[in-house]
Structure 1
Amino acid sequence: MSSLTKWVLSVCGPIATRVLSQLGLSLVTYVGVDTAVNYCIDYIRNSYSGVSADVAVFLAMGGFNTALGIVCGGIVSHLTLMQFKRMKFK
């Protein structure tokens, strides 16, 4: 191997290792929290389906469904932004 090839491998090797490890850690963290958020959404939906019709109407008029979507979307987007900052994609 030429010295140029050795130099390129010595420079690119640690960078590739770090990028792949950060992506792996971020993916595992994101998948774990996304699973937890989906579990909470399913739990809320199951609890919501157990209420009487009168209460469901009042919750729907009050915007509970929209609020639930906004809160869950905010949690997931915050998690995504945290992962981007951790990977230095500011």
Structure 2
Amino acid sequence: MTEETEARIERALREALTEIVPEADVGRLDAERTLHAQLGLDSVDFLRFQAALERTAGVSIPGAHGYRLATLDGCRRYLREKLLAG
């Protein structure tokens, strides 16, 4: 994985999260704790985050894969897989 790809993933995460939770400080979030627990996302917020992540990362994320996006680390792993396959 290149530095450029890693930067793209981080940028996509930051943009998607701040779109849904503008006051979120992505740098202060625990990468292993759920976004729901840390940011209080409800199911609608989470679906909006998933759609924003799709748009900001430029990948398709099927609804059934949402569970893989529960944590920042999960999002990173998922996006790496998608971008490598892409």
Could you say which TM-score interval applies, normalised by the shorter chain?
0.3 to 0.5
TM (norm. structure 2) is 0.37
TM-score (norm 1): 0.36
Q: Which has the larger radius of gyration?
A: 1
